[in-house]
Structure 1
């Protein structure tokens, strides 16, 4: 889960080194939130271009469920649409994301519900110069099990999608081509009130209370270099009103080599530069900072 800073200040985190500071790529979908020279590009997939189809014949009630960290993706069952991949392109109806299934199909009936499998899908054009980059699919929230299929291959799975989740699509993409992205949602039901004691029964599993409706929130692609900041967490430090913070930065190195560079952390006018030696995998760094002008 992503950790968000809670201080009333602006955190500006910049990686400055030869392995990160490279020319940005052109945005093939929608204008990026960053400048053209940023090593991190965020491309929104929200809005039109999607289709949705209710897979009412799909079996799901007795599925085995897998929590994060308890599975290898290659070992999971593959669940293609019951209509077949080819027919999926012509079935369903156009939609925009974010999308709520009950809102789209209820036709004004407040008692309408749909428990089961649905597909939300579209084509995305992937530039050839993205090859060698790390491309994540970011979903702000979904209900409740999510399976990601890219070009008909299972590329992601998550059972906790009512919190933000990301999937690394890098090795599944075909660069310089159109790629078919299909998101398979399974909704076992839930509560339409505010009863925290309500439990959801899914086959032999019991899940905590959740909403009865299903849908997909904001969706985007994040493109980074092979070495990138994967998480930032800012903690206030004692004593009270001392205006000291601890910045925890996770930097992921997806290359096979140790990478040397400089990490710059800046909060308003306060800044620290420190040399780093990043091993393969996730490197967590802790940087103490004092921000005398902060109004807490």
Structure 2
């Protein structure tokens, strides 16, 4: 009788795992489950001073998930573990893999270079949205983390910078969500899944999913985590999105900033525009809720161009009763781009584009590009008078644009 009960419990656990992970990886109608809203690139700091310092790793709102994780790899998708996310799962015999880290650059599978077509073309006849199970490698990750005590009562999000080709996420044995789009961030609100102190984070990645049909680029096909991953905390009322559109008048003399804001909750919004010396040159205040727009004007701003990339800093602070809840810094440049006839003009001046294509590809780490490697690329381009980059064929790491 005891043996039958134990067997029934095991079957129930496996069934629950299968229910949490359905066929999203094979369903073109499902691109995400419980993924947080996409937004512009920014980080919300705990104070205006921290915002001006603009180092998220030093912020009390930041907790890195980079580093070594427990890791399991299987060759075929139907051999993947289905209950690995459970708190009582035994991972003692699992290996370790760095995050960020690409499987093929760490001894799991082989890189495949394909110009046009898909990496499975020698074994599987393409039949969208069907995806092969054989040689569809699956990596499973586990790691225990500790939530800071001062995050109590805050909204806590997970940020996965780039995962190929998809990600299933669990926290403390509970299914959180799913995401495709391998070159876009995937964020999830973990607030209701976390507990004070230690927590188990587990995720699973497939080499191929239905979204792979839309990611046919001429480069090495790799799998795994390619960009930084971290947790971050927000107050219960926060700025959901901030989008800034700069412009110049017809004489390229005076500038304006159109600022679009989306709120979660409400508060008092303070906008301050600072020059390169951190001197205030413009500002605005208003009560904030829902979605709204406002415009800031500046007389004779320093203009941005490739030769003179002058930048200002806009700090958006959300306050309650005069106390700062969070502060977001955004770098902005005043410039006007136009097409007149067959000529592209920047701030009214004709520009000769000398551009290159650039893939995110490192000889040692694959898709993971360190800041040092980015700087090396930029120096090489500047030495050859390159003034334009085509980020083929996907959104790059946000740091590259900065």
**Shorter-chain TM-score range:** 0.5 to 0.7
Structure with greater contact order relative to length (CA < 8 Å, sep ≥ 6):
1
Q: Which deviates more from structure 2 when the two are superposed, residues 144-153 or residues 210-219?
A: 210-219
Q: Where does residue 3 of structure 1 map in the other structure?
A: 40
1:76-115: per-residue Cα shift (whole Å, max 9, x none)?
Answer: xxx96356734452242112211101111248x6669962
Q: Which deviates more from structure 2 when the two are superposed, residues 227-236 or residues 214-223?
A: 227-236
Q: 1:243 to 1:137 in 2, by over 3 A?
A: farther
Q: Where does residue 20 of structure 2 map in the other structure?
A: none
Aligned residues: 233
Do structure 1's residue 186 and structure 2's residue 206 form an aligned pair? Answer: yes
SS at match of 1:170: coil
Q: How do residues 1-296 of structure 1 correspond to structure 2 at under 5 angstroms?
A: 1-3=38-40, 33-34=57-58, 41-48=61-68, 50-56=69-75, 58-59=77-78, 81=82, 85=86, 86-106=88-108, 115-175=136-196, 177-188=197-208, 202=210, 206-210=213-217, 212-216=221-225, 217-239=227-249, 241-254=252-265, 259-268=266-275, 269-279=280-290, 283-290=291-298, 292-296=300-304
1:138-176: per-residue Cα shift (whole Å, max 9, x none)?
Answer: 11111011111111111121111321221111111112x
* Distance across 2 between alignment mates of 1:248 and 1:89: 49
Q: Normalised by the size of structure 1, how large is the TM-score?
A: 0.65
Q: Normalised by the size of structure 2, how large is the TM-score?
A: 0.50
* Distance across 1 between alignment mates of 2:56 and 2:242: 21
Contact 1:4 1:234 survives alignment (8 Å): no
Between structures 1 and 2, the one with greater helix share: 2
Between structures 1 and 2, the one with greater strand share: 1
CA positional deviation for 1:127: 3.0
1:100-135: per-residue Cα shift (whole Å, max 9, x none)?
Answer: 01111248x666996232112211101343221011
SS at match of 2:105: helix
Q: 1:121 to 1:273 in 2, by over 3 A?
A: same
Contact 1:243 1:294 survives alignment (8 Å): no
SS at match of 1:102: helix
* Distance across 1 between alignment mates of 2:41 and 2:253: 21
Gaps of 5+ in 1: 6-11, 15-19, 25-30, 61-78, 190-201
* Distance across 2 between alignment mates of 1:84 and 1:3: 31
Q: 1:53 to 1:250 in 2, by over 3 A?
A: farther
* Distance across 1 between alignment mates of 2:158 and 2:65: 10
CA positional deviation for 1:53: 1.0
Larger gyration radius, structure 1 or structure 2? 2
Contact 2:237 2:264 survives alignment (8 Å): yes
* Distance across 2 between alignment mates of 1:125 and 1:116: 30
CA positional deviation for 1:234: 2.0
Contact 1:137 1:221 survives alignment (8 Å): yes
CA positional deviation for 1:206: 4.2
Q: 1:97 to 1:35 in 2, by over 3 A?
A: closer
* Distance across 1 between alignment mates of 2:223 and 2:105: 9
CA positional deviation for 1:184: 1.1
